[in-house]
Structure 1
């Protein structure tokens, strides 16, 4: 039986769709951003990327395709599913499998385990940022292997040649990498865009020790004062031009084009 660790009111999943062209089930899928993997090759790519072992938390277990594959690969899986119907069905299917525990509830409201664990999931597009933020805050998280909208994964991994605030700010503690693309045809219902595997890994040792001073530096740089990193940083720090030169950052560089490793050098010169 699924354990009810739900946080919040999910009664909306039981309401009838107003549009008579949709069933209540269709409305639930739309509301909860449900797109289930139906391609075994896609599941295998996720398992290969995650290399699961030990405790694995899975946000959005859905119909259980990835849940079962993770368990078969040797993981101890705790699957979170916000949809009561799906949670009950998966719990019933796996009730005799000691490797799998199904929790009916919102993953983003769950408490992180107090032991090393990984997160692996085909996550709803609509809550991607919330799940990523949850992972970054979890002290004992070792890795997160997330199937996200491809554009999101490319942005976070710097695949466009630009870097986002969340990536730069967490870079001393986490690496970000873009994995395989998984086409929209691998899901039902078929989404409007392709997905990609985003790999988030905690570094064995942090690249720096000054978390607060580093994040203050980065947030100021991304604040957009003056239109360039140089203009922003000069509002608070001395020796900015020398630091930019040491990091190989042009004086007119726009913040998104500064590589996370260059931010490490800037911190060392300005704050270290």
Structure 2
């Protein structure tokens, strides 16, 4: 990770030739890095309200700095990560003299998590969404993540389709997932082909289960697909499954995706404790 100083120059960042089919380096970066910059003030305000930033905030994919500056104005100390050296340098120049902003050129997903409590807030590249979310879930001191993602991704992770993903269920005892406001595609430049939405992930003050390994093994078994239903999958290793399903309110023929994460907590309590 490289801290950016406003007067640092990069020869490749100054190259604006159109040698690649008429595309500039900026054009190629936007395509390669999934760069769609937030360009609407109301959308920025939506993200800030959802994040309610305070203290240390890490921002992946800072881009042109719309969120960076808004986070700092809200009182956060922002470490803004930008992998594109051209954008990182411009952001460092733009934020020079602004208190509470540090610009780092580099890949956020390879950064070391701070040892003290922090939040993550960002309009993240669609292509890096899974890696960024996994980084957040693994960071011991993370308190929350407020991420602007593809709307379909946010709905899938937060149960917006009435189904629950494996990742959400696996992390549910430690993190709460919530779907926030939709941000239309017209709020970005260049304009993407799909809408975005705010996804909020909060670390729970206290875990809902006491044994991570047994809980996650149970969930992995349920999502294994053995037998075609969660009941059939769990019966391959556990007794008393029918009684546990009844207590959790899960139909005997339920497909695993339709089992609510809270019901998985009950199943763990009945089958693994």
TM over 0.5: yes
> Which blocks of at least 5 consecutive residues in structure 1 are unaligned?
5-10
Per-residue CA deviations over 1:39-73 (Å, capped at 9, x if unaligned) read 00000000000000000000000000100000000
- For 1:86-235, what aligned pairs fall within 5 Å after superposition? 86-235=87-236
Unpaired runs of at least 5, structure 2:
6-11
Rounded to whole Å, the distance in 1 between the matches of 2:146 and 2:26 is: 28
Asked whether the 8 Å contact 2:72–2:99 carries over to 1, the reply is no
Shift in Å, 1:136: 0.3
- TM-fit CA distance, 1:18: 7.4
Give the C-alpha shift of residue 25 in structure 1: 1.6
1:19 Cα deviation after fit: 5.2
Q: Identify the residue that residue 7 of structure 1 maps to in structure 2.
A: none
Aligned residues of 1:121 and 1:146 also touching (Cα < 8 A): yes
The answer (yes or no) to whether the contact 1:149–1:195 under 8 Å persists in 2 is yes
TM-fit CA distance, 1:96: 1.8
Q: What does residue 8 of structure 2 align with? A: none
**CA contact 1:81–1:103 (8 Å) conserved in 2:** yes
1:56/1:76 contact within 8 Å kept: yes
TM-score, L = length of structure 1: 0.94
* SS in structure 2 of the partner of residue 179 of structure 1: strand
Q: Is the contact made by 2:16 and 2:24 (CA closer than 8 Å) also made in structure 1?
A: no
- 1:74-101 C-alpha deviation (Å, 9 max, x unpaired): 0000000000010011111223223000
Which residue of 1 is the match for residue 237 of structure 2?
236
The number of residues matched between the two structures is 266
8 Å Cα contact 1:2/1:87 also seen in 2: no
TM-score (norm 2): 0.94
